[in-house]
């Protein structure tokens, strides 16, 4: 005996059995909902409005809704069993894999700091640009009796003359129609070559001059979000950027729950395929928007943490989460992207950024590469705030690092109005006399808050005395912006201001979570600095990376106690340094080799085995910190 569920606005009806959840029904209808927590009722992202039929929000899910919303029939899809024929409306915000294009503004914000960083590279600027794969156009002399070397030798001889490497490797596939192709195109061909040190691997030979059409992808495979940059391999320019939530989220919010899924009740294959689908979707959008033939894309560099790197390559990560935390590999073989199902040129290659250990991944190695942290003798620090916070301190001779679980708060996960840095995200907030002004990405109507918006609002709330240093609301409940709920919410944008007609707000418990996140990050920085015996002001520069959004306000990030209180001119926000590093490696063989060196040089400090960390964490659960001496410049 089953029920019918009709999903709006698609008007798509499915029949389901008893005991089915609304989430499963939506899947059956082909509607992919945002389930950051893997359908555990924890993230509150899969909100649906039941407009016809009887359904009730699960008790545990009630906290995610206002009274008004509960009355309007809002439920969490994952926590709601179907016990009636239903009509359900799916809000835009509840859909997974948001494919909203990052606005140009955001794309520029991503790439601007990179440009600065690229110019600071220690590599000779003339030789920096040495893409992992390049296209070379050759006009070959026709063979004669006096010069009748083999066809492929004619090509490599010309390559040696023109490019100057010694040794060329070629696959059988490239040889198989070569004789015909050369003669058909009058000895004018374009050769696609992947470079390794002094040797080249010929991936493709095509007739005529096609050097103008040559593209690559730099990918950040984050636990929460996936970002793909389309790169013109001839100029090195970023042609476009697309990002989306990691579709793996439906198997669990964090890497641990996804490993548990892949190694237990689920399968590695499902988790692997999810990320491949992510990449293909983003790739497809990019290639359509930018009118690029996917067959002209010949190289990919992907950076991700160690677990994500395993999932991407279809490697079992089961031992990463079990003591003694052993990954299958930290250096990965070059693979053909098509082997993994990624739809670029059939011979196109994919490189995965080297990782260091189970919890120090290729994303942080990419960040070190992008920031130039390992280039000079000055001691610098890199703080990458993703779902895991990763900290590196070091210089051109030594590197130590650690990681701490920060949760997805700064990436827009785990709270009702959190979203990643996409169109409509509130990225800047100012509160003055209880009047809120904000700025959204793309100047669109607000849809939610991204990481930089959360930092701003917390700072503004504490500065205005609306919350106290422990994060509790300190105002009469009658305040027009404060709701009268068990977990009261401060409203930034009222329903008439927003795109969806739902208010954008932040609750006391969400603030508590953000304080935990910033506390974990700060405690990790402090512990690592103590470990190597350095005071914060001995750090020449602090680079801050992460998907906060385009305009992280460094001063406010210091003021809430997320970042150390040093001269803020020495703190530099560099955005998504993972995708930046991936792009550098894509565009520079020496940079990719440097990344391998970096990965081998890094020493990982396991904070769970480092007792002072927990004390530091507890001391940091305060705005800005229980020890005000650590934040002398902060005044509120």
If the CB atoms of residues 83 and 169 are measured against a second copy, the closer one turns out to be 169
Both structure tokens of 123: 């590599």
Residue 152 C-beta: closest distance to a second copy, Å: 5
DSSP line for 379-436: -EEEEEESSEEEEEEE-SS-EEEEEEE--SGGGT-SSTTB--SSTTEEEEEEEETTEE
Q: Which stretch binds a second copy (CB under 8 A): 277-285, 333-341, 549-557, 620-628?
A: 333-341
Nearer residue to a second copy within complex by CB, 325 or 536: 325
314 binds a second copy (CB under 8 A): yes
**Residue of 40, 169, 209, 470 interacting with a second copy (CB under 8 A):** 169
Nearest to 239 by CA among 249, 248, 229: 229
Selected from 316, 400, 444, 534, the binder of a second copy by CB under 8 A is: 316
User: What region does 118 belong to: left with phi over 0, alpha with psi -120 to 50, or beta?
Assistant: alpha
Output 444 or 596, the one with its CB closest to a second copy: 596
Q: From the CB of 401, what's the least distance to a second copy, in Å?
A: 15
Separation between Cα atoms, residue 77 and residue 25, nearest integer Å = 9
Q: How many CB atoms lie within 10 A of CB 142?
A: 10
Closer Cβ to a second copy, 177 or 633, answer by number: 177
CB-based burial, 212-250: b 16+ in 10 Å, e otherwise: ebbbbbbbbbbbbbbbbbbbbbeebebbbbbbbbbbbbb
DSSP state of 609: G
Give the per-residue contact string, 109-148, with a second copy (x = CB under 8 A; - = no): ----------------------------------xxx-xx
Q: By CB under 8 A, what part of segment 608-627 binds a second copy?
A: 609
Q: Give whichever of 315 and 563 is closer to a second copy, judged by the CB atom.
A: 315
Interatomic CA distance for residues 28 and 98, integer angstroms:
19
Choice between 188 and 443, CB closer to a second copy = 188
Q: Compute CA 240 distance to the chain's CA centroid, rounded to the nearest angstrom.
A: 16
Please answer whether residues 398 and 601 qualify as being in contact, where contact means their C-beta atoms are separated by less than 8 angstroms: yes
Coil vs helix vs strand at 254: coil
The nearer residue to a second copy, 326 or 618, going by C-beta atoms, is 326
324 part of the interface to a second copy, by CB under 8 A = yes
- Please state the closest distance from residue 339 (CB atom) to a second copy, in A: 7
CB nearer to a second copy: pick between 11 and 144:
144
Binding-site member from 22, 133, 178, 521 for a second copy (CB under 8 A) = 178
User: CB 299 → a second copy: shortest distance, Å?
Assistant: 17
CB of 167 to a second copy, least distance (A): 10
Answer yes or no whether residue 319 interacts with a second copy by CB under 8 A.
yes
What would the DSSP string read from start to end of 492-553? EE-GGGSSSSS-EEEEHHHHHHHHHHHHHHHHHHHHHHHHTT--GGG-SEEEEEESS-S---
CB of residue 200 to a second copy, shortest distance in Å: 13
Give the interface size with a second copy as a residue count (CB under 8 A).
Answer: 43
Q: Which is nearer to a second copy, 332 or 454 (CB)?
A: 332
Beta pairing partners, 81: 21
Q: What are phi and psi of 343, to 5 degrees?
A: -85, 65
For a second copy, give the closer residue by CB, 197 or 501: 197
**Which of 8-16, 67-75, 127-135, 166-174 is the region at the interface with a second copy (rule: CB under 8 A)?**
166-174
120 CB-near residues (< 8 Å, 6+ apart): 372, 375
Q: In angstroms, rounded to a whole number, what is the distance separating the alpha carbons of residues 154 and 25?
A: 61
Tell me which of 45, 298, 358, 452 binds a second copy, using CB under 8 A: 358
Binders of a second copy in range 562-591 (CB under 8 A): none
Among 18, 51, 177, 184, the residue binding a second copy under the rule CB under 8 A is 177
Are 538 and 546 within 8 A, CB to CB? no
Position of tokens 């491949």?
276
Q: Which stretch binds a second copy (CB under 8 A): 174-182, 461-469, 542-550, 554-562?
A: 174-182
357 lies in the binding site for a second copy (CB under 8 A): yes
Nearer to a second copy, 127 or 176 (CB): 176
CB under 8 A: which stretch of 310-318, 463-471, 518-526, 618-626 binds a second copy?
A: 310-318
Token pair of 44 as six digits: 């509150």
Given a contact cutoff of 8 angstroms between Cβ atoms, the answer to whether 371 and 379 are in contact is no
Residue 354 in tokens: 């080297």
Site for a second copy contains 331 (CB under 8 A): yes
- C-beta of 83 vs 314, nearer to a second copy: 314
| Least spacing, CB of residue 266 vs a second copy, in Å | 16
Tell which one of 60, 127, 171, 495 touches a second copy (CB under 8 A).
171
Tell me whether the omega of the peptide bond preceding residue 9 falls within 30 degrees of 0, making it cis: yes
Spell 412-446 as b/e; 16+ CB within 10 A means b.
bbbbbbbbbbbbbbbbbbebeeeebebbbbbeeeb
Both tokens assigned to 85: 């024929």
Nearer to a second copy, 68 or 269 (CB): 269
**Smallest separation (angstroms) from a second copy to the CB of 519:** 26
* 260 belongs to the binding site for a second copy (CB under 8 A): no
Q: Pattern 24-63, binding to a second copy, x per CB under 8 A? A: ----------------------------------------
Among 326, 472, 612, 633, binds a second copy (CB under 8 A): 326
Cβ at position 173, least distance to a second copy in Å: 9
Q: % helix / strand / coil in the chain, to the nearest 5?
A: 35, 25, 40
Question: Per rule CB under 8 A, is residue 264 in the interface with a second copy?
Answer: no
CA distances, 349 to each of 137, 216, 301, 344, 580 (Å): 20, 10, 9, 9, 19
315 binds a second copy (CB under 8 A): yes
Under a CB-based contact definition with an 8 Å cutoff, are residues 150 and 607 in contact?
no
170 binds a second copy (CB under 8 A): yes
Residues that bind a second copy (CB under 8 A): 143-145, 147-153, 169-172, 175-180, 183, 313-316, 318-319, 323-331, 333, 335, 339, 357-358, 606, 609
């Amino acid at each position: 005996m089953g029920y019918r569920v009709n999903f709006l606005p698609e008007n798509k009806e499915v029949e389901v059995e008893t005991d089915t959840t609304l989430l499963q029904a939506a899947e059956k209808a082909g509607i992919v909902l945002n389930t950051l927590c893997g359908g555990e009722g924890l993230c509150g992202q899969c909100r649906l409005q039941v407009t016809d039929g009887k359904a009730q929000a699960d008790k545990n899910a009630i906290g995610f809704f206002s009274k008004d919303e509960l009355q309007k029939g809002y439920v969490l899809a994952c926590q709601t069993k179907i016990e009636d024929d239903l009509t359900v409306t799916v809000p835009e915000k509840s859909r997974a894999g948001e494919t909203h294009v990052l606005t140009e503004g955001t794309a520029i914000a991503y790439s601007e700091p990179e440009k600065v960083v690229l110019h600071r590279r220690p590599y000779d600027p003339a030789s920096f640009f040495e893409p992992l794969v390049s296209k070379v156009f050759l006009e070959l002399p026709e063979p004669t009796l006096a010069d009748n070397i083999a066809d492929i030798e004619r090509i490599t001889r010309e390559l040696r003359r023109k490019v100057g490497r010694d040794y060329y490797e070629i696959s059988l596939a490239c040889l198989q129609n070569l004789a015909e192709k050369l003669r058909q195109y009058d000895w004018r061909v374009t050769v696609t070559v992947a470079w390794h040190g002094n040797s080249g691997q010929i991936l493709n030979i095509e007739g005529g001059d096609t050097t103008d059409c040559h593209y690559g992808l730099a990918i950040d495979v984050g636990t929460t979000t996936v970002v793909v940059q389309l790169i013109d391999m001839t100029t090195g320019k970023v042609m476009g950027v697309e990002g989306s939530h990691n579709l793996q989220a439906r198997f669990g919010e964090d890497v641990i729950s996804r490993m548990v899924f892949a190694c237990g009740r689920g399968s590695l294959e499902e988790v692997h395929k999810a990320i491949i689908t992510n990449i293909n979707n983003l790739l497809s959008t990019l290639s359509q928007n930018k009118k690029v033939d996917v067959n002209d894309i010949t190289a990919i560099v992907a950076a991700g943490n160690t677990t994500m790197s395993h999932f991407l390559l279809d490697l079992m990560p089961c031992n990463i989460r079990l003591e003694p935390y052993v990954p299958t590999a930290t250096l990965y073989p070059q693979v053909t992207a098509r082997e993994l199902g990624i739809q670029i040129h059939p011979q196109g290659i994919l490189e995965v950024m080297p990782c260091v250990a189970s919890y120090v991944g290729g994303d942080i190695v990419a960040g070190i590469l992008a920031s130039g942290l390992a280039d000079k003798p000055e001691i610098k620090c890199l703080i990458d705030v993703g779902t895991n916070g990763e900290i590196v301190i070091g210089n051109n001779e030594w590197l130590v690092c650690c990681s701490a679980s920060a949760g997805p708060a700064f990436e827009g996960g785990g709270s009702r109005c959190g979203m990643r840095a996409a169109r409509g995200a509130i990225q800047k907030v100012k509160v003055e006399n209880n009047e809120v002004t904000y700025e959204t990405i793309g100047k669109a109507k607000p849809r939610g808050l991204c990481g930089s918006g959360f930092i701003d609002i917390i700072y503004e709330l504490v500065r205005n005395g609306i919350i106290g240093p422990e994060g509790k609301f300190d105002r009469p409940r009658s305040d027009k912006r404060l709701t009268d709920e068990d977990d009261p919410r401060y409203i930034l944008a009222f329903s008439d201001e927003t795109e969806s007609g739902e208010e954008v707000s932040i609750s006391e418990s969400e603030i508590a979570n953000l304080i935990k996140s910033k506390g974990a990050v700060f405690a990790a920085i402090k512990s690592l600095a103590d470990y190597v015996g350095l005071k914060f002001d001995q750090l020449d520069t602090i680079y801050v990376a992460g998907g906060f959004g385009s305009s992280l306000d460094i001063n406010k990030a210091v003021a809430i106690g997320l970042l150390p209180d040093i001269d803020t001119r020495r703190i530099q926000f560099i955005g998504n340094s993972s995708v930046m590093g991936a792009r550098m490696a894509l565009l520079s063989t020496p940079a990719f080799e440097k990344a391998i060196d970096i990965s081998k040089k890094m020493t990982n400090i396991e904070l769970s085995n480092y007792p002072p960390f927990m004390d530091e964490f507890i001391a940091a659960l305060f705005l800005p910190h229980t020890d005000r001496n650590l934040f002398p410049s902060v005044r509120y």
